[in-house]
């Protein structure tokens, strides 16, 4: 099995007014994933930390900037010795 580090959002996508999800969804950004399309494939996620709560951003650009910061923060956290066994 391939293990890929990821940043995951579990929530309602509140930034997109009128497009919010009625039920919580799970969105995963696979960091460094170089494989192909995996639609229809089984995927398991192991959540091993918490970065921040869900935020309604004032613009799409602010959302993207926050996601990029989340990715950098996650890379740093997941590269610590405590996370190595995972």
Query: Which is it for the CA torsion 63, 70, 55, 21, positive or negative?
Result: positive
Question: What are 24-56's pLDDT values in tens digits?
Answer: 889 889 998 888 888 888 889 999 999 999 888
Beta strands in the chain (DSSP E): 6-11, 25-30
Report pTM.
Answer: 0.79
At residue 5's C-alpha, the angle toward residues 43 and 41, to 5°, is 15
Q: Measured between alpha carbons, how far is 18 from 61 in angstroms, rounded to an integer? A: 18
The verdict on whether 72 is a catalytic residue reads no
Considering 1, 20, 27, 72, which one is annotated as catalytic?
27
Which of 2-6, 17-21, 42-46, 65-69 is predicted most confidently?
Answer: 65-69
Q: Are strands 25-30 and 6-11 parallel, antiparallel or unpaired?
A: antiparallel
| The predicted structure's pLDDT at residue 77 | 92
Q: Measured between alpha carbons, how far is 3 from 19 in angstroms, rounded to an integer? A: 32
């Amino acid at each position: 099995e391939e293990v890929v580090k990821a940043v995951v959002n579990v929530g309602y996508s509140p930034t997109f007014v009128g497009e919010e999800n009625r039920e919580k969804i799970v969105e995963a950004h696979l960091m460094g994933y170089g494989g192909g399309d995996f639609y229809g494939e089984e995927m398991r996620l192991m959540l091993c930390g918490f970065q921040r709560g869900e935020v309604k951003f004032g613009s799409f650009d602010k959302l993207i900037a926050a996601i990029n910061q989340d990715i950098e923060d996650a890379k740093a956290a997941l590269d610590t010795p405590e996370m190595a066994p995972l």
